[in-house]
Structure 1
Amino acid sequence: MYFGLLIALVPLGLGYLIKIKNNRWMSKINLTLSWMIYLILFIMGAELAHLDNLTTNLQIILCYAIVLFVCTFGGNFVVLLIFDYFSPAKTVKANQTYDSRFKMIFESLRVCIALILGFVCGLFPLFIWKYAEITTQVVLVFLLFFIGIQLRSNNISIKQILLNKIGITTTLLVTISAFLGGVVASFILDLPARVGLAMSSGFGWYSLSGILMTEAHGPIIGSATFLNDILRELCAIILIPTLIKRYQLTTLGLCGATSMDFTLPMLQKGGGIAIVPAAIAQGFLLTLIMPIFITLFNYGWFGL
């Protein structure tokens, strides 16, 4: 149990101790991270191809992902909408177009392409697949390390994060409603509650949630978790232009952990510069707590 938690937190913490000001080096780190994510998803796809009763298992994965998405994203939507309706806090509106929305959707789908390519290659009996598990673990450690560097190098202090009331509030609402949705999904799917809670703890960070869940529960649960989180990002991209003019806090919460990076430009276009601090705070906090909660739930630390 302790080893699993250390694997998740130590690389992230060590990376956070390093601050890089050189833009050239940060660009290299960002590029390296992208390729590492694609590599891990490629391996996940290959592991899927090695499952017995493949057709049946793919149906199970889709069923798990859809039920989990409806319960968690739907729960987020309802709770955030109620909070947004009664909240006096409103951000400045900005009228801008979203001509790059389809480009962002395509960029999100590229990770699915990596998974599909891995699946196709996994159908071939290559000797390299016996090293897939150890390769994933090694890449995961470096992935978390570089993410820690990213977080520290964005010039965001812990004080700034903890003083942003809107970001903290949406983080709490997203976390609690996602957990409730995860419990409901676990009952529907006849899974242990802790597995449903772990699957709901990705908050849109598909590149890591799928990996951690695959390591703990195998490729079926891992792939369902990945699909759930990629669906969150895709739906957030689609809904931002529609919702943000009237329900900005709801839109922010639905973006989950991606609010500090991938969906941040769209949030800024619709909500103005005033929404940026809250978006960064929410994304940072969800990114920070995500591996902690997934690891704790996976190893049953809450007695579930």
Structure 2
Amino acid sequence: MYSGLLIILIPLCIGYVLPRQGLRTLKVVNRLLSAMVYVILFFMGISLAFLDDLSTNLMLIAGYVLVFSLCILCMNYLALLWLDKRLPWPSSGHAQPPTSRWRMALDSFRLCMVVAVGFGLGLTGWHWLGEASRASEICLILLLLLVGIQLRNSGMTLWQIILNRRGVFIAAVVAVSSLAGGAAAALILGLPVNTGLAMASAFGWYSLSAILMTDAFGPVIGSTAFFNDLLRELAAIVLIPALMRRQRSTGLGLCGATSMDFTLPVLQRSGGIDVVPTAIVHGFLLSLLAPILIALFSV
């Protein structure tokens, strides 16, 4: 029953307890992580093509994505607005010119294209493509090992996390409100609540949620998780510049786990350099929570 949990936690912990690596090794780790994202999404596309009654399932996925995205983002937004009122975060006034959101949106489009290519290949029905699920499990183990190494070398100490109270508060609000939104979506769709909680636990980390949710609940839920988390990232890219002017906690919180990597440049440009430490703490905590919560809700 707990084999899935061990598959997730063991490589993550091994990567985290390894000694800190040099700059050259970290560059290799980062490149491998970027490559693994594309490989995992490619295999997910292949698995999606092997679904029975494909057209019906695609419509089902679209409906699931719509409901989960709306419920989770709305819950996040309302909870973060409350936090902004209770704990105001004044702007430093050091914002930079906005970064190219079109370029970042193009990166997200590329990810969708990788899924589409895998899907197209899977439609050929070649028998050897049936091994895609086994290959994705191997990729998952490697991905989590690399993530553990990356978290270990992020430079974040326990003391730094504790001192950055705002980052901890925002991460806590995002985590709780996301779980509430996931549970609400599951009830609306007639799905088990634990499925909704697992869906909400990725906090925007689409490469992780895609493979974990596919392994635990099948390609329909796995594909829903991917597009749900990808939509979160796209929404954050669009909303950050406007929200960071007056509702900085909301702008940061909507980024979820991506605030320590993908959306960090947008946050820095829109909110100033003082946003960066809080964004890294926030993203670090959610990245650490995501695989653990998904595994717990999937058993």
Secondary structure of the 2:245 match is coil
C-alpha offsets along residues 248-272 of structure 1, whole Å, 9 cap, x if unaligned? 1100100000000111111111211
Task: Determine whether 1:30 maps to 2:30.
Answer: yes
Q: CA deviation at 1:21?
A: 4.2
Q: TM-score, normalised by structure 2?
A: 0.97
Secondary structure of the 1:131 match is helix
Instruction: List alignment gaps of at least 5 residues for structure 1.
Output: 300-304
Q: 1:71 aligns to what?
A: 71
Task: Determine whether 1:201 maps to 2:198.
Answer: no
Q: 1:53 aligns to what?
A: 53
Distance 1:239 1:63, change over 3 A: same
Q: How does 1:151-230 map to 2 (within 5 A)?
A: 151-230=151-230
Q: 1:302 aligns to what?
A: none
Distance 1:126 1:177, change over 3 A: same
2: distance between equivalents of 1:271 and 1:279? 11
Q: 1:235 aligns to what?
A: 235
Q: CA deviation at 1:279?
A: 0.6
Q: CA deviation at 1:26?
A: 1.6
Residues paired across the two proteins, number: 299
Q: CA deviation at 1:24?
A: 2.3
Q: Which runs of 4+ in 1 moved over 6 A?
A: none
Q: 2:146 aligns to what?
A: 146
2: distance between equivalents of 1:200 and 1:243? 22
Q: 1:266 aligns to what?
A: 266
Q: 1:87 aligns to what?
A: 87
For the aligned residue pairs, the C-alpha RMSD in angstroms reads: 1.2
* Contact 2:99/2:266 (<8 A) preserved: no
Q: CA deviation at 1:91?
A: 4.4
C-alpha offsets along residues 97-124 of structure 1, whole Å, 9 cap, x if unaligned? 2242111111122211111110001011
1: distance between equivalents of 2:282 and 2:68? 22
2: distance between equivalents of 1:15 and 1:24? 17
Query: Which AA in structure 2 matches 1:189?
Result: L
Q: CA deviation at 1:89?
A: 3.4
Query: Which AA in structure 2 matches 1:44?
Result: M
1: distance between equivalents of 2:227 and 2:19? 32
Q: CA deviation at 1:298?
A: 1.1
Q: 1:109 aligns to what?
A: 109
Query: Which AA in structure 1 matches 2:129?
Result: W
2: distance between equivalents of 1:66 and 1:276? 31
Query: Which AA in structure 2 matches 1:61?
Result: I
Instruction: List alignment gaps of at least 5 residues for structure 2.
Output: none
Query: Which AA in structure 1 matches 2:262?
Result: F
Greater shift after overlay, 21-30 or 106-115? Answer: 21-30
Q: Determine what percentage of the aligned residue pairs are the same residue.
A: 48
1: distance between equivalents of 2:112 and 2:175? 25
C-alpha offsets along residues 185-244 of structure 1, whole Å, 9 cap, x if unaligned? 011100011111111111000000111110001000010011110000000001111111
Q: 1:133 aligns to what?
A: 133
Q: TM-score, normalised by structure 1?
A: 0.95
* Contact 2:174/2:253 (<8 A) preserved: yes
2: distance between equivalents of 1:178 and 1:292? 15
Q: CA deviation at 1:163?
A: 2.3
Greater shift after overlay, 268-277 or 173-182? Answer: 268-277
Secondary structure of the 1:48 match is helix
* Contact 1:93/1:270 (<8 A) preserved: no
Query: Which AA in structure 2 matches 1:211?
Result: I
2: distance between equivalents of 1:162 and 1:109? 37
Q: CA deviation at 1:247?
A: 0.8
